[in-house]
Amino acid sequence: MSGGIFITGTDTGVGKTHFSVLLLKALRKNGWDAVGIKPFCCGERTDGELLYEAAEHVEPLELVNPVWLRVPASPYTASLVENRAVDVDTARSAVGQLRRRHQFVVVEGIGGWRVPLTGQLCMSDFALELGLPVLVVAANRLGAINHTQLTIDAILARGGTCAGVVLNEAMQSTPDAATITNRGVLEQLLPVPVLGQIEWGSTELDPALLSVMQRQLLVP
């Protein structure tokens, strides 16, 4: 099996896909055979399509996003509305295929850590099965400290490996006390490192963040 990382978020809409795309592009630019996968999409398939584009179409979209439900909700909720089961086995198989064929795989979760896939299985269960280190993306806004700590506590409580946190400027806004200080406070409070920060409108991964990740996390 190849190396890889699982990207989770403190919530939906915090910038997991944006970070995953920037990471994939940077790795490939630096000579890595890296691909991404969004095992589950609900609503639009945009996240899967962006990962497919970032990896330069080396794998088909159907493998990059193997399970797609049309209702914009959690996979479990969408499956109830659509009256069809979430095909977790297909998602597992797709991740395995990519890990066998490529040097590094970026696996992006859906929503947050505890989003339900079925009545018995959560995104966290799926992630832990893969055995990959987990990276947490948090939106740099009021509430980030609480949400980030809760997510990391949940990962560690289940015996997962949390590689660290990346803060994302998820929206263009006037800096306030929270956004200015969140990183420093999290660095003091968390048992894992804050690896870096993505500024609003970034089209490339900060070289310093890429260097940290390559050095600490991405060596196969």
Q: Name the residues annotated as catalytic.
A: 38
Q: Is 143 left (phi over 0), alpha (psi -120 to 50) or beta?
A: left
Strand locations in 55-189 (E): 67-69, 104-112, 134-139, 162-168
Residues 168/14, Cβ–Cβ less than 8 Å: yes
| Nearby residues of 157 by Cβ (< 8 Å), 6 or more positions away | none
Q: Return the SS3 of 105.
A: strand
Q: How far apart are CA 27 and CA 210, in angstroms?
A: 8
Q: Are 133 and 156 in contact (CB under 8 A)?
A: no
Rounded Cα distance between 58 and 98, Å, is 11
Residue pointed to by tokens 């959560």: 122
